[in-house]
Amino acid sequence: MVAVLRYLGGACRRALGCFPGACGPALSRPWTLGGGGRSASTRSFDVAIVGGGIVGLASARALIRRHPALSVVVLEKEKDLAVHQTGHNSGVIHSGIYYKPESLKAKLCVQGAALIYEYCNQKGIPYKQCGKLIVAVEQEEIPRLKALYERGLQNGVQGLRLIQQEDIRKKEPYCRGLLAIDCPYTGIVDYRQVALSFAQDFQEAGGSVLTDFEVKDIKMADGSKNGMKYPIVIKNTKGEEIQCQYVVTCAGLYSDRISELSGCNPDPHIIPFRGDYLLLKPEKCYLVKGNIYPVPDSRFPFLGVHFTPRMDGSIWLGPNAVLAFKREGYRPFDFSASDVTDIIINSGFLKLVFQNFFYGVNEMYKACCLGATVKHLQKFIPEITVSDILRGPAGVRAQAVDKGGNLVDDFVFDGGVGDAGNRILHVRNAPSPAATSSLAISKMIVDEMQQRFEL
């Protein structure tokens, strides 16, 4: 894991009122859920958290619950919260089986899954612990499946067992396979509902949320070396400003660009990959009961298409992984010249393409040809035909890539340079399963803030 944590601590106290000369109308759009919470009536805060996705909201909630005397604000560029990666993912509560033992990713996923289930039970948020089968359909996959099973045991994943063909059929009557890992602890939930519940908890504890606030600049205020209480100025694209003592950024698809505002190295760079899903027609949803996944192949950068039940009863098939020509390009023809130029010139994308050329071509082919995707799905459920599926939604994954063209597979933190950088914590990369791990990640982030900022 690449981890750079460079920021300076300092005593934090609750902000009272506006900073001199700034009292006036409330900034942007104070966000409330169902009329609850407290609007942002001041322009100075102890801590500002940039990004209103599930990681940013979980971190804001954890911070204010641990330090209720702090004034904390969440800044979100959209008019609502959790509308990008959080609102476009598959909704799976992952168990932690895939990740390298003792890695931060493995530990946070296992802890995070337990915390998500506990939180949903406390809040009455519906979920389904429907389980998952990781299925070997070819003999050559069996050694990899058994190695994955051993990895899951090392990670402390609950309830794992290897099952034979007859037990596969008992769990998934229409699924064919030679051997499978039964992972009953895997579940599904609506993560946007979870994130909005985090936001409500945060506001009820006294936190503020400003939407329609797209951050353009983060810098030290003029005269900040003279002991100014709120030395960091955050300016949005409309020219509005807030001041604060410390900043945490959880900017997802824009995490690299936001971090560069405080002088961070552009590496790792974010490359957006769109994942297109197919939908099983409602009359065919009986074919799938729980999550059905392929055996991962370490030669390829992404997991591959799988079967995912949703809380609304639908079944998602996918996703593929193709380059998005826009950071928030949820449709195949969404295009941003600046985003494409950025990908080609400033990242390790070309090296990534060279290293995974045939895989990439195959993913593009499957994106264009439904029959190719269905052929893969039929390895698991032979009854599925092209006439049984529809094109469905898509998500965009913020994939961090280093200059060598390698996918950055673990969490990355940074601060920046100079006085401003010493007061900032950037979450540069929070890869899947960030939603599952969000409560565990938030605890880690607040622990680091507490230590480095001396909260």
The secondary element (H helix, E strand) that includes residue 421 is helix 418-421
Cβ pair 418, 241 in contact under 8 A:
no
For 128, counting Cβ atoms within 10 Å of its Cβ (0-12 exposed, 13-18 middle, 19+ buried), the class is middle
pLDDT digits (tens, 9 = 90+) for 142-167: 999 999 999 999 999 999 999 999 99
213 and 332 inside one domain: no
What pLDDT does 42 receive?
62
Question: Does 14 have pLDDT greater than 50?
Answer: no
338 and 301 inside one domain: yes
Residues 6+ away with beta carbon under 8 Å from 388:
280, 281, 284
Question: Does 28 have pLDDT greater than 90?
Answer: no
Mean pLDDT of 187-204: 98
CB neighbours of residue 371 within 10 Å: 9
397 and 287 inside one domain: yes
341 and 321 inside one domain: yes
pTM: 0.89
Does any domain span residue 71? yes
Question: Does 296 have pLDDT greater than 80?
Answer: yes
259 and 361 inside one domain: no
Helix, strand, or coil here: 17? Answer: coil
Point out the least confidently predicted range of 76-85, 131-140, 196-205, 367-376.
367-376
Does any domain span residue 155? no
Range of the domain at 253: 29-85+192-268+410-453
pLDDT digits (tens, 9 = 90+) for 437-449: 999 999 999 998 8
Mean pLDDT of 207-217: 97
Cβ pair 400, 431 in contact under 8 A:
yes
Question: What pLDDT band is residue 226 in, cutting at 50, 70 and 90?
Answer: low
- CATH number for the domain spanning 239: value is 3.50.50.60
DSSP strand pairing (241-249 vs 208-211): unpaired
Cβ pair 183, 95 in contact under 8 A:
yes
The secondary element (H helix, E strand) that includes residue 434 is helix 434-453
259 and 225 inside one domain: yes
Amino acid at site 62: A
Distance CA 41, CA 30 (A): 8
Does any domain span residue 167? no
Assign residue 159 a region: left if phi > 0, alpha if psi is -120 to 50, beta otherwise?
A: left
Greater confidence, 314 or 420?
314
| Distance of alpha carbon 232 from the chain centroid | 27
* Angle between helix 191-204 and helix 104-123 axes, rounded to 10 deg: 70
DSSP strand pairing (187-189 vs 208-211): unpaired
385 phi, psi to nearest 5 deg: -125, 170
Question: What pLDDT band is residue 200 in, cutting at 50, 70 and 90?
Answer: very high
Does any domain span residue 15? no
Mean pLDDT of 229-249: 95
Mean pLDDT of 183-198: 98
* Residue 167, CB-side half-sphere exposure with 13 Å CA sphere: 12
pLDDT digits (tens, 9 = 90+) for 366-398: 888 888 899 999 999 999 999 999 999 999 999
CA-nearest of 197, 190, 192 to 33 is 197
Percent of the chain residues topping a pLDDT of 90: 70
Does any domain span residue 121? no
72 and 215 inside one domain: yes
Question: Does 347 have pLDDT greater than 90?
Answer: no
Question: Does 26 have pLDDT greater than 80?
Answer: no
Mean pLDDT of 449-453: 85
Does any domain span residue 110? no
What pLDDT does 22 receive?
34
Mean pLDDT of 108-120: 97
Question: What pLDDT band is residue 37 in, cutting at 50, 70 and 90?
Answer: very low
> Per mean pLDDT, which of 18-22, 298-302, 320-324 is the most reliable?
320-324
Does any domain span residue 305? yes
Question: Does 450 have pLDDT greater than 80?
Answer: yes
Mean pLDDT of 402-413: 87
What pLDDT does 21 receive?
32
What pLDDT does 265 receive?
87
What pLDDT does 13 receive?
30
Q: What is the mean pLDDT of the chain?
A: 88
347 and 330 inside one domain: yes
32 phi, psi to nearest 5 deg: -135, 155
User: Cα–Cα distances in Å, from 249 out to 244, 352, 405, 410, 434?
Assistant: 13, 27, 24, 17, 15
What pLDDT does 286 receive?
97
DSSP strand pairing (208-211 vs 269-280): unpaired
Does any domain span residue 144? no
Mean pLDDT of 170-199: 98
Task: Quote the number of domains for the chain.
Answer: 2
Mean pLDDT of 127-146: 97
Question: Does 186 have pLDDT greater than 50?
Answer: yes
Mean pLDDT of 76-101: 95
234 and 355 inside one domain: no
Distance CA 5, CA 250 (A): 14
Distance CA 210, CA 5 (A): 27
